[in-house]
Amino acid sequence: MPETQPSTTPRPPACPDTAPPREKLVVRSLYKIFGPHPDQALPLLASGHSKQEIFGQTGQTVGVMDANFTVHEGEIFVIMGLSGSGKSTLVRLLNRLIEPTCGEILVDGRDITRLDSADLRALRRQDFAMVFQSFALMPHMTVLDNAAFGLELAGTPKAERLQRAGDALAAVGLSAWANSYPVNLSGGMQQRVGLARALANDPSILLMDEAFSALDPLIRSEMQDEILRLQSDSRRTIIFISHDLDEAMRIGDRIAIMEGGRIVQVGTPEDILRNPADDYVASFFKGVDISRVLTAADVCRRSQLEVIDRADTGVRVAAERVRAHAYDFAVVVDRQRNFHGVVSATSLARALRDPEPRFRTALLESAPTLQAGTPIAEVLGVVAEAPFPVPVIDDAGRYLGAISRSLLLQTLDPETPIPAAEPPRPASSAGQEAH
């Protein structure tokens, strides 16, 4: 398998949310057997026979076997695998373009495998839209009419469908090309029209089957950026099929890896990178530069001493805790975990000499911090030069944890042991103490 170099553009960190993610689509024990006698294959699958053995004995082809996973509302869920792994079959099962042999597919809690033809058509109009690798644009129709084509087939009145198609073209940056024809567009622009056609239906679930595979690398990267931009503006549930690891890690909130019709592992890019389920999964990540995949938020730990910024006794309490724990530095936060700064044993002692000690006089000037989404490749120099573990802050200014040199080393080389708590650094080595 060729080595993959993930993009340096980080995925934006997910916004913190106290509510559990809502289940948009749930797949349970889903099977697809191709052939006239699928019942012959199911018992053999249950007894552990391989796809090849089943085909040899019955002539039935196993497309998907015992798929189980959940897709949360508003996430980009990537399904990836090698050619023939079953990923394209699986995505077509989700809206019943291919009929499942058995199993359940729940959309908003409703099992769509039980729907009749009329209800299934209504479901596809209201909840699903699909973007294929082929642009499938009508050459004799304008860009606007192509974007409105799905709505026309659904019987939407002309004025409404043109308005919705125009809004979708605006969302993908093609308003100026509305009256042009596909022949006048580049490949990337044609794929944007295909995306606009799907968005015009305002689906709650967007299915994308190898949608960018036919594009050259630069345009493909631009389309990935477009998906991330659209997702930041209006979070949809997107199920994205890909065979490209770089693409999956760049845009996916979670990834499902398939082999031989089975889902081998589901997890975040970090989860799978750190803990591959087997050698097959690990082979996907061979050669991946981990420093360009993980972010500061993925790596940081709350092992650094924290003190609370209180108006009255805060400085004295902080100085005592720093002394008692033999730390030279501490992170200052408030009760809501908003980050205020970093203090040292020396700066706290200096502040205590004031008649009314205040944290603001103890905070170290120009103390380095890292944003949560910073790629580890950009963290290296900051942590190497800092005299203390560098705090990591989210977009709301909340303290997430800190990254030390030893923690960073252990992240880049998992064989390196890391202590349970960060050892204190001598005050004499801290360049910030001069402040």
Residue that is written with structure tokens 């125009």 in the block: 166
Give mean pLDDT, residues 302-310: 82
Is 62 part of a structural domain of the chain?
no
Q: 132-169, pLDDT tens digit by residue?
A: 777 678 889 999 999 998 888 878 889 998 998 998 88
Question: Does the pLDDT at position 236 exceed 70?
Answer: yes
Q: 40-50, pLDDT tens digit by residue?
A: 999 998 888 88
Residue 373, domain extent: 296-412
Residue 178 CA neighbour count, 13 Å, CB half: 15
Average pLDDT, the chain: 83
Confidence of residue 249 (pLDDT cuts 50, 70, 90): confident
pLDDT at 409: 81
Q: For the chain, what percent of residues have pLDDT higher than 90? A: 29
Q: 54-94, pLDDT tens digit by residue?
A: 999 999 999 999 999 999 998 999 999 888 889 999 999 99
Residue that is written with structure tokens 């630069």 in the block: 218
> What does the block give as tokens for 294?
């993980």
Domain count, the chain: 1
Rounded Cα–Cα distance for residues 378 and 357 (Å): 36
Is 57 part of a structural domain of the chain?
no
pLDDT at 323: 84
Is 358 part of a structural domain of the chain?
yes
Contacting residues for 34 by C-beta, under 8 A, at least 6 apart: 60, 61, 62, 63
Spatial contact of 395 and 296, defined as CB atoms under 8 Å apart = no
Query: Of 36 and 303, which is predicted with more confidence?
Result: 36
Is 316 part of a structural domain of the chain?
yes
> What does the block give as tokens for 389?
């573990």
Rounded Cα–Cα distance for residues 400 and 338 (Å): 9
Rounded Cα–Cα distance for residues 117 and 114 (Å): 10
3-state secondary structure of 32: strand
Is 229 part of a structural domain of the chain?
no
Is 34 part of a structural domain of the chain?
no
Spatial contact of 169 and 196, defined as CB atoms under 8 Å apart = yes
User: Cα 242 vs. chain centroid, distance in angstroms?
Assistant: 14
Instruction: Give the helix/strand (H/E) hosting 317.
Output: helix 314-324
CATH number where 307 lies: 3.10.580.10
Q: 370-384, pLDDT tens digit by residue?
A: 998 888 888 988 999
Is 354 part of a structural domain of the chain?
yes
Question: Does the pLDDT at position 218 exceed 70?
Answer: yes
Is 320 part of a structural domain of the chain?
yes
pLDDT at 407: 84
pTM recorded for the entire structure: 0.69
